[in-house]
């Protein structure tokens, strides 16, 4: 089982790269906003229940994916509300079940981030989609713990498909059959 752990700043191309990688490998995308959007509709972002449940949900999916030998792609933006040691706990969870975690950081220039952040597709998951807010955050960086880096890709100069192919080649990733969403009973 492989957990491809894509991380980087907002608008660095994590979800776009994850989708390209998924199209080539059949690995499902576990986009961090799936859990963030679910929980932030119930608990304020950063509140104790939000932080606790977010990590529980992430870790439960990782553990069960490893147990069932289901490779997945996870997208993650370092955030100060994520408890310290999260990347190490992810690695321990996966490796204790015989899996492998591959940490890949996606890089992007500030000019490109500003161009991308206003794209309508970002509104689908309640992502940061306003240049002014992006600039304010840049002036007051509240960074979370940075995950390890086994490969860095500059998404200014590498398309999502090129990035996906680089990841596949670098780590010798093999396709798996995509899961059937609603199998016949």
Q: Report how far Cα 36 is from the mean position of its chain's Cα atoms.
A: 12
Percent pLDDT > 90 in the chain is 65
Lowest mean pLDDT among 82-86, 136-140, 163-167, 169-173: 136-140
* DSSP-H helix ranges across 76-130: 86-95, 110-117
**Which pLDDT tens digit goes with each residue over 41-51?**
999 989 999 99
Contacts of 31 (CB under 8 A, 6+ apart): 15, 18, 74, 75, 125
Mean pLDDT for 64-75 is: 97
User: What CATH number should be reported for the domain whose range is 2-171?
Assistant: 3.40.50.300
Please, are residues 11 and 113 in contact by the beta-carbon 8 Å criterion? Answer: yes
Question: Which single residue is written with the structure tokens 């939000």?
Answer: 50
Find, among 108, 130, 133, 103, the residue nearest to 117 by Cα.
130
Token digits of residue 81: 């509300």
Cα distance between residue 37 and residue 42, in whole Å: 9
pTM for this prediction: 0.86
| pLDDT confidence tier of residue 17, bands split at 50, 70 and 90 | very high
Q: Say whether pLDDT at 140 is over 60.
A: no
Backbone angles phi, psi at 177, to 5 degrees: -65, 130
**Which pLDDT tens digit goes with each residue over 82-129?**
999 999 999 999 999 999 999 999 998 877 776 667 666 655 665 566
Q: Say whether pLDDT at 136 is over 70.
A: no
**Which pLDDT tens digit goes with each residue over 21-45?**
999 999 999 998 889 889 989 999 8
Q: Where are the domains of the chain?
A: 2-171
DSSP E strand stretches across the chain: 2-8, 29-31, 72-76, 100-107, 151-154
């Amino acid at each position: 089982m492989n957990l491809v752990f894509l991380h980087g700043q907002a608008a660095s191309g994590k979800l776009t790269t994850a989708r390209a990688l998924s199209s080539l490998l059949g690995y499902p995308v576990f986009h961090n906003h799936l859990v963030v959007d679910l929980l932030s509709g119930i608990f304020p972002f950063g509140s104790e229940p939000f932080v606790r449940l977010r990590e529980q949900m992430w870790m439960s999916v990782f553990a069960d994916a490893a147990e069932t030998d289901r490779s997945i792609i996870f997208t993650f933006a370092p955030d100060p509300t994520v408890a310290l040691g999260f990347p190490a706990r992810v690695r321990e969870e996966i490796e204790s079940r015989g899996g492998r975690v591959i940490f890949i950081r996606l890089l992007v220039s500030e000019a490109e981030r500003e161009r991308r952040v206003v794209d309508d597709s970002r509104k689908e998951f309640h992502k940061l989609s306003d240049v002014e807010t992006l600039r304010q955050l840049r002036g007051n960086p509240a960074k979370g713990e940075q995950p390890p880096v086994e490969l860095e890709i500059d998404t200014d100069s590498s398309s999502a498909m090129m990035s996906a192919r680089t990841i596949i080649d670098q780590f010798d990733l093999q396709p798996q059959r995509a899961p059937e969403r609603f199998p016949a009973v």
